[in-house]
Structures are given as C-alpha cells and as structure tokens.
Amino acid sequence: MSDAVLTRPLPRPLAALLALAPVVLAAALGNAATMPNLAGWYANLVKPALNPPNWVFGPVWTALYLLIACAFYRILRSKPSTARRRAISIFLFQMALNCAWSFAFFAAHSPMLGVMVIVAMEAAIVAAIVLFRRIDKTASRLLWPYAAWVAFAAYLNAAVWRLN
C-alpha cells in the first residue's frame, strides 16, 4: 500500500500488527544472536565499572521495545504524507541497525564492529525522533528513553572495545 492510495490512517488492528512486527522481529533475532554468547565469550570480557548485571538488560529492553512499538503505532495511525513515509523509512532503518548490533557485537564477537553499528543506530534513532516530532510529538517523546539507553549502551560498547 502506498501513501498515494491511502487517504486515511491505517485501521487500528493493522497499524498494531505493523507496529509490532519489526520490533518483535528485531528483538527475536537480536536475542538469538546474543543469548548463545553470554555465558562464554561475553562473560570473559573485561567490562567498565558502570556495566549493569546481565539481568537488567531483559526488563529494560522489554520496556523500551513496548515504547518503540507504541511510537511506531502512532506514526502508522497518522495521516499519510511524505513526512510519514520518511519517518517510517528511518524507523525501519534504525530497527534493522538495532538487530544488526547484536550480530556485530555478540555473534561476530566484535566490539569494534558493534561501536560502528551502534553509532549509526543512535544517529538513526535521533533522526527518527526528529521526523516523528513533525508528525506526532508524543510518538517522538516515546523514543527518548530508547535514545538515552542506546547512548549508554554505546558508552558500554566502546568501553568493552577499549578494555579488551
């Protein structure tokens, strides 16, 4: 469906499904890349003093993914426009980077590659915040905790790269 064909926001059930799909996919794939590497490779890395215990990451990411999906839902329910199309594109791009980070850092065992991906991801999240704000200020604000957490994760990733 193109925006040219749509004259109204997506129906709620379709918007909910489309909002959840990329978030759940990124979470599931990222988890598949991460979990097998926690006990072995990651456990043996030197980590910075501010590194939270592993049990913190699951609840934090679950909450963030819910906020991310809610933000995307609001954009999908907004009136079709060129701004909406751009916002959707950058959102999907940053979700692909979200997933790619787990493969770069954990599956490839490469903190350096992780830094490269997470810096691009943070830039894409900030771009999504800016583009979402033009359409729906609440959707934009829902991404702020995500941007803050990814900035913290970038610090952790860079520190692991430096320490190892």
CATH of the domain at 83: 1.20.1260.100
90 found inside a domain? yes
- Residue 119 counted as domain residue: yes
pTM for the full model?
0.92
pLDDT of the residue at 8: 75
In a domain, 1, yes or no: no
For 106, 112, 120, 151, 154, the CA distances from 115, given in Å and listed in that order, are: 12, 5, 9, 11, 7
- The pLDDT score that the predictor gives to residue 15 is 92
Tell whether 4 is covered by a domain.
Answer: no
Q: Total structural domains in the chain?
A: 1
Residue 6 lies in a domain: no
In a domain, 81, yes or no: yes
Q: And the tokens for 15? A: 């918007």
Q: 6 to each of 74, 84, 104, 139, how far by Cα in Å?
A: 16, 12, 37, 21
Residue 9 sits at φ, ψ, to 5 deg, of -60, 160
Query: Are 28 and 99 spatial neighbours (Cβ–Cβ below 8 Å)?
Result: no
**pLDDT on residue 7:** 62
pLDDT at 59: 97
Q: Output the pLDDT for position 10.
A: 82
The stretches in the chain having pLDDT less than 70 are: 1-7
Q: Cβ distance 140 to 71 under 8 Å?
A: yes
| Parent domain of 93 | 12-44+51-163
